[in-house]
């Protein structure tokens, strides 16, 4: 099967995909849910203190995703919201 990269939207974390990951893995796919720089914590912690994400830029986020995707062994299917 394919590798699928699920890219979360702004102001959410990879947890937004929590129900999709097991569904897609059950179909035989490898699923990658990279987090944006600064979004490594839980949603609740980021809501309480948004400082880790306050200065994250779009170019920085795109460069990070490019690095993650470029390191995969095959070209993935990329889905985002």
* Residue given tokens 């949603």 in the structure block: 43
Can you give the pLDDT at residue 39? 77
Name the maximum alpha-carbon separation found in the chain.
Answer: 39
Cβ atoms of 1 and 29 within 8 Å: the answer is yes
Every domain of the chain and the residues it spans: 3-80
The whole-number pLDDT of residue 36 equals 87
Predicted confidence at residue 40, as pLDDT, reads 80
Residue-level pLDDT at 13: 86
Residue located via tokens 């809501």: 47
The rounded average pLDDT for each run of 10 residues, N- to C-terminus, in the chain (81 residues) is 92 90 98 88 81 85 95 96 83
Query: Would you state the pLDDT for residue 38?
Result: 80
């Amino acid at each position: 099967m394919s590798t699928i990269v699920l890219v979360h939207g702004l102001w959410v974390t990879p947890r937004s995909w929590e129900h999709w990951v097991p569904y897609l893995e059950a179909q035989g796919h490898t699923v990658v849910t990279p987090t944006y720089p600064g979004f490594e914590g839980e949603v609740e912690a980021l809501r309480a203190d948004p400082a880790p994400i306050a200065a994250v830029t779009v170019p920085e986020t795109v460069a990070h995703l490019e690095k993650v995707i470029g390191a995969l062994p095959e070209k993935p299917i990329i889905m985002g919201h």
